[in-house]
Amino acid sequence: MQRIQRALISVSDKTGITALAQSLHELGVELLSTGGTHKAIAEAGVPVREVSEHTGFPEMMNGRVKTLHPKVHGGILALRDEASHVEAMEAHDIGGIDLVVVNLYPFEETVAREGVTRPEAVEQIDIGGPSMVRSAAKNHRHVAILTDPADYGRAVEEMQSQEGVISEEFRRELAAKAFALTARYDTAISGWLHSQEVAEKRTESRWPSSYATAGLKQMELRYGENPHQTAAFYTTGDTGEPSAANAEVLNGKALSYNNFVDLDAAHNLAKEFSEPFVAVTKHNNPCGAAVADTIAEALEAAWAGDPLSAFGSVLAFTRPVDMASATFLVDGNRFVEAIIAPSFDEDAFELLTTKPKWCKSVRLLACGPYGPSSRSCEDVEFKKLAGGFLLQDRDLAISGEWTVATEKKPTPAEEESLRFAEKVGKHVKSNSIVFCKGTRVMGVGAGQMSRVDSVHLAARKAGDEAQGCVLASDAFFPFPDGVEAAIEAGATAILQPGGSVRDDEVVAACDRLGATMVFTGQRHFRH
């Protein structure tokens, strides 16, 4: 392997760049740079040459053209062990560039800003940077490419210990990382450009003809859903929406695959509500949920929905976790895997992180304030299939006008409870049945293959509390047996989308048994 003799440095994110430049200079490396990077290195007192001096060609067009030159790309792409390449370098006075340090214009950060214009966004599409990154990564047998400040230290350590050489193993690793960077970058640009076409109504389809997604690995997980499965957690960019993906982990063991899945499910349900609300989630389904005057009262009511299932659950709070909530949780034989909340009051955090059994295990995540308006309608749901994938819009809808299908109309109290139940039912796996009393879940039937089985399951969970409950169903009742079972269990009012060929029979059953039924016209399957 050849010694690093010349490096080209051109970065948007200047984290650690002057320290790297100083170390390279001390190792005898000639430094080339551009624009603001050159200024930062020079002001740090490190000798550095302008790229324009190296190429003999000035920067032009407001910096759009500065590194797109044969003396740059020839110096990067030349195979040092290929005679014809060496002859071309000598004939055209092209000096080799052995190390490229580049990161890209902040396109994603720019388009995430409120009010950004199209010209502003387009100007942040980097051309020279990705070209140098790809050139260096392609020629990684001879050239090292650094795109991440986190790798600067390791590169310097290898050069210091190996007489100015960066190992082939590390170059390969850096090349893979570099192509991952350009893939993410191009994905972000392509996605944003298509979103602009949609916003400006220049295309009829919400979905582009080709869809790419890319993520940045945040951590490898102990295992996946089961111990024999490997797993990792990636982020796909900042949507501006508080989430389990961008929340700050304040305490606890490392998050598992199942923790992330349940935290996301609980948090998505909590985002339906602006009031003090707590969701208790187990295996990707809410087993308890409640709105109350205070967050501690909401927690206690949500936990009471299914105390047996609540042990080892994941919680989502719409308000900061206070001392009353923390005291409730640590009392008795209660335990949860993780809590996501806007924040944690100081005394509550201390109790949760010092109480035996809790302190070392429970994961506490702070995500900042959130509510229904914080949800991003531009985000999509992704489901991987063998050999393909499905995309869909998120189900952020909630029904507006209802049709009262029965002779009996819902009371104001029943209507309030039905609206609460509908929001919760959206986040229960189909077939979904939710029994509620007031703004509190009493029993949930989830994921059953027949709707009547979901009714029986929810009624059994609710027990005696099913008396006087309302019921929400995510889809229509295909036969009267489901509503008959619900009313027999104690339900007085039922919400469903309607649309069955047997709607008349289902409504007639409600009329015969003295119950209320409303049609929403909006289904909420969740598979």
Instruction: DSSP letter for 287, please.
Output: E
Rounded to a whole number of angstroms, the CA Rg of the chain reads: 30
Q: Is 456 a catalytic site residue?
A: no
Extract the tokens encoding 13. 């994110």
CB within 8 A of 495, min separation 6: which ones?
A: 402, 418, 421, 422, 470, 471, 472, 473, 517, 518, 520
Q: Annotated catalytic residue: which of 85, 283, 355, 408?
A: 283
Nearest CA to 267 out of 348, 394, 398, 367 is that of 367
- Give CA–CA dist 94/91, Å, rounded: 8
Extract the tokens encoding 98. 């052995």
Q: What are phi and psi of 151, to 5 degrees?
A: -95, -5
CB within 8 A of 341, min separation 6: which ones?
A: 315, 316, 317, 318, 319, 320, 321, 364, 365, 366, 367
Nearest CA to 82 out of 96, 66, 100 is that of 96
Q: Annotated catalytic residue: which of 138, 253, 355, 408?
A: 138
388 CB neighbour count, 10 Å cutoff: 7
Nearest CA to 337 out of 427, 269, 266, 268 is that of 266
362, 352 contact by CB (below 8 A): yes
Q: Is 408 a catalytic site residue?
A: no
Tell me the CA distances in angstroms from 407 to 298, 418, 493, 507, one per residue in order. Answer: 34, 17, 12, 9
Give, in degrees to the nearest 5, the angle at Cα 410 between 405 and 414: 135
For the packed helices 17-26 and 152-161, what is the interaxial angle rounded to 10 degrees?
10
Q: Which residues are marked as active site?
A: 138, 283
